[in-house]
Amino acid sequence: QREVPKLMKQFESMGDSLGLRTQLVPLPTTIDASKEVIPYQVVAKGTFNQILSFINLLERDKRYLKISDLDIGPEKGGVCEAKFILSTFRFVEKEVETETQQANTGQKTS
């Protein structure tokens, strides 16, 4: 949870560095046995090349990111609007296993 504002600021800074106007809205997270999915609704406005450069920066980020539901509208006055879902992941399988093992042996987590 505490990483969400930091990630949003990082993604918005990436867009700003390219001259894009970006808006990120966190969506509800989902958790399964092995990972937590942290999605954002992204709206980016700028030239087509700026939008492609932004997507390329996201693809090269050190975190594993997934872009889905990408929709780039037609260019009007030199400006396009892209909408997509940007998801980042936090793998939790080892944490769950460790907590289970510690619970079974009576150890407390810190």
- Tell me how far CA of residue 13 lies from CA of 4, 73, 83, 104, in angstroms: 14, 22, 17, 44
Bridge partners (DSSP) of residue 91 are 35
Q: Which domains does the chain have, with CATH numbers?
A: 3-105 (3.30.70.60)
Question: Is pTM beyond 0.95 here?
Answer: no
Tell me how far apart the alpha carbons of residues 66 and 82 are, in angstroms, rounded to a whole number. 15
pLDDT per residue as tens digits for the range 33-74: 888 999 999 999 999 999 999 999 998 988 889 999 999 999
Tell me how far apart the alpha carbons of residues 81 and 67 are, in angstroms, rounded to a whole number. 15
